Amino acid sequence: MLDLQFLIILLFSPLLQGIIKKIKAWSQGRVGAGVLQPYWDLVRLFRKDMVISKTASWVFHAAPFITFLSVLAASMMVPVISVKGTIFGMGDIIALLYTLALGRFFMVLAGLDAGTAFGGEGSSREATVAILVEPMMMLAIFSTAIAGGSTSLSKLALSVDIFHSPAHVLALAAFFVALIAETGRIPVDNPDTHLELTMIHEGMLLEYSGRYLALMEWAHYMKQMLLFTVAIDLFFSYGIAGGGHGFAALSPLYYALKLLFLAAAMAVAESSRAKLRFFQLPSLLGGAFVLSLLSIITVIMLG
């Protein structure tokens, strides 16, 4: 059963999205939709017919399935409530990031393939943000990997003592900025906007509808929960089941509480900031890159 931990991400990722939106609404003085609203949105999209551009090629049709399956495959590499499971041995944190990059690559291609100006603009911006975010995320992860002595998430999740080092705190700050950028949230992107000129992630999905759009949105929810889980494994891994019976019964509760903490932090950070202009993003992401660089320098100097 431990090999099926990825089903937690598959089934509960829309719920996490609903919780973030609910906390964000509360912080802004609104009631907001129910936490189950993302599930109803997916059901509605799966039941709708699709409208497909005449210029669309096989890339447009294949991108939703490749994006969804790439995130699902990446979810199989991540320990959620226990580090025990044979699936975790098929890849490490580097394979995880490149599996996610495969889905991003086809999303960018699909935005260009539709032949619309806004889709091409969204794809161009997504590629630019990826160039800025991925090196920073890799350095933040490498600093924890050096301290933990491995690139395996299962082994890093058991190295709970490395959180007390200054390098780990710097890496956490950089990784949190990467979370904001990778999940398309303010101040990098606005997931609720309907203004085409300000879209990044949503701009690539403008030509999608019906079940194709449902797969894309579900993959986005899964990626968000997957990255939250990676952050928990790297920086808040206390309570994960490690083979013994000490935390086996309580590890799902610990995992849920840590997810709620990250969801609340994300919602508060998003509500307290305004969206930056696109040409200002290098300053934010560059500052996070410096933090990740300092973290890896610190862990090398401190041994």
Asked if residue 131 is part of any domain, the answer here is: yes
Residues, the chain: 303
Number of domains within the chain:
1
Asked if residue 159 is part of any domain, the answer here is: yes
**Quick one: pLDDT at residue 1?**
60
* Exposed/middle/buried for residue 118 (C-beta within 10 Å: 0-12, 13-18, 19+): middle
Distance of alpha carbon 287 from its chain centroid, rounded?
20
Give DSSP secondary structure letters for 155-203.
HHHT-GGGGGSHHHHHHHHHHHHHHHHHTT-TTT--TT---GGG-STGG
Asked if residue 13 is part of any domain, the answer here is: yes
Asked if residue 246 is part of any domain, the answer here is: yes
Asked if residue 226 is part of any domain, the answer here is: yes
The Cα angle at residue 72 between residues 250 and 83, in degrees rounded to 5? 35
Asked if residue 257 is part of any domain, the answer here is: no
**Quick one: pLDDT at residue 39?**
96
Count of CB atoms within 10 A of residue 95's CB? 14
Count of CB atoms within 10 A of residue 164's CB? 8
Give DSSP secondary structure letters for 95-161.
HHHHHHHHHHHHHHHHHHHT--HHHHHHHHHHHHHHHHHHHHHHHHHHHHHHHHT-S-HHHHHT-GG
Mean pLDDT by 10 residues, the chain (303 residues): 83 95 88 91 94 88 94 91 69 86 92 84 88 90 83 78 73 91 84 70 85 94 94 85 61 91 90 82 89 88 75
**Quick one: pLDDT at residue 277?**
83
**Quick one: pLDDT at residue 244?**
47
216: left (phi over 0), alpha (psi -120 to 50) or beta: alpha
The range of the structural domain enclosing residue 174 comes to 2-250+262-302
C-alpha 260/C-alpha 302 separation (Å) is 33
pTM of the model: 0.91
Asked if residue 123 is part of any domain, the answer here is: yes
**Quick one: pLDDT at residue 88?**
56
**Residues 136 and 289 sit within 8 Å (Cβ to Cβ):** yes
Q: How far is CA 40 from CA 15, 18, 102, in A?
A: 11, 11, 28
Q: Which residue is associated with the tokens 């906390």?
A: 23
Q: How far is CA 180 from CA 64, 78, 191, in A?
A: 22, 20, 11
Asked if residue 256 is part of any domain, the answer here is: no
